[in-house]
Amino acid sequence: MLTYHKLDFTLNKFKQLCSSMEEKYNFITMNEYVTAADKLPERFVLMRHDIDRSAKNALKIASIEEQFGIRATYYFRTTKKTFVPEIIQKIEKMGHEIGYHYEALSRTNGDFGKAIKLFESDVNKFRSICNLNTICMHGAVLSRHDSRDLWKYYDFKDFGLTGEAYLSAGKNLNYFTDTGRGWNSKNNFRDFIPGKTEYISAETTDDLIELIKSDQINNFYITLHPNRWKSNTFNWSLWWLQELALNSGKKVLRAVRK
């Protein structure tokens, strides 16, 4: 029988993760990371949240982090349920960084000219309600197009931006992502640092917590999707079924595209 306190990817488990880092590491935002040059703290956590589905879920996570003194970076898509100005502004006031979770190339079906215009429009949309310094590609699993390819022909810095969450990340960062309902899961199409080949293994959040407690790693770059972390067993079970179907679909897509 499922019991909430034993499950992974719950808000309770997220609180345990926050607690394990609270007194061991400095917390930095993506903008601070890309502008720090050689002045980064010796031990730090770069916490990133990709807001794919609901701004309300992001607010829950941000409120928990505020309790633990954690400052993170939140990347919002421009869909109706994610681009909610009052929530975005509330999260920014907590001390978190707000970024743009762009998917311009996949939304324009690979048309680079239309994509860069859409990108500029969305950047202005964010800047009308908050500060904006960094961006992060949204994976868009069903699309063949990787929006990071936009920067093969354009330069995001021309829009007054300091960094991109994947392209500006150094290969020395120890990257962990909950994509695929695991940490660095094989059910992952695009959520990785380009050119990085070695990743530290952590199957569960408890494994990740043990790594943090071990004091053997000086930096963590952790990506979470707030919609994945649930507050009760019923919602957790529904999401587990959705993830099971999604991961199965990813395997089929991977085979077809090969």
pLDDT tens, residue by residue, 176-234: 999 877 887 665 667 889 888 888 989 899 999 999 999 999 999 999 999 999 877 76
Structure tokens at 179: 């994509």
Sorting pLDDT into bands at 50, 70 and 90, what band is 141? Answer: confident
Residue 2 domain flag: no
CA angle (97 as vertex; 137, 113 as ends), nearest 5: 30
User: Does position 248 have pLDDT exceeding 70, yes or no?
Assistant: no
Asked whether residue 1 is assigned to any structural domain, the reply reads: no
pLDDT attached to residue 244:
56
Query: Is residue 20 predicted with pLDDT exceeding 80?
Result: yes
Q: What CATH number corresponds to the domain at position 221?
A: 3.20.20.370
| Nearest residue to 3 via CA among 234, 187, 251 | 234
Q: Residue 176 phi/psi, 5° resolution?
A: -135, 130
Q: Which residue has the tokens 């860069």?
A: 116
pLDDT of residue 4: 61
Share of the chain above pLDDT 70, in %: 86
Counting the structural domains of the chain, the total is 1
Higher pLDDT, 231 or 252: 231
Q: Is the pLDDT score of 255 beyond 70?
A: no
- Give the pLDDT band of residue 114 (cuts 50, 70, 90): very high
Supply the range of the domain harboring residue 153.
7-257
Q: Is the pLDDT of residue 116 over 70?
A: yes
In a domain, 67, yes or no: yes
From 38-42, 104-108, 120-124, 251-255, the region with the lowest mean pLDDT: 251-255
Q: Does 182 fall in a domain? A: yes
Helices (H), the chain: 11-21, 30-35, 55-67, 85-93, 104-107, 112-127, 205-213, 233-257
Question: What is the pTM (predicted TM-score) of this model?
Answer: 0.89
Question: Which pLDDT score, from 0 to 100, does residue 254 have?
Answer: 47
Q: What is the mean pLDDT of the chain?
A: 89
Q: What share of the chain is helix, strand, coil (3-state, %, to 5)?
A: 40, 15, 40
User: Would you say residue 139 lies in a domain?
Assistant: yes
Residue 69 has pLDDT above 90, yes or no: yes
Residue 207 belongs to a domain? yes
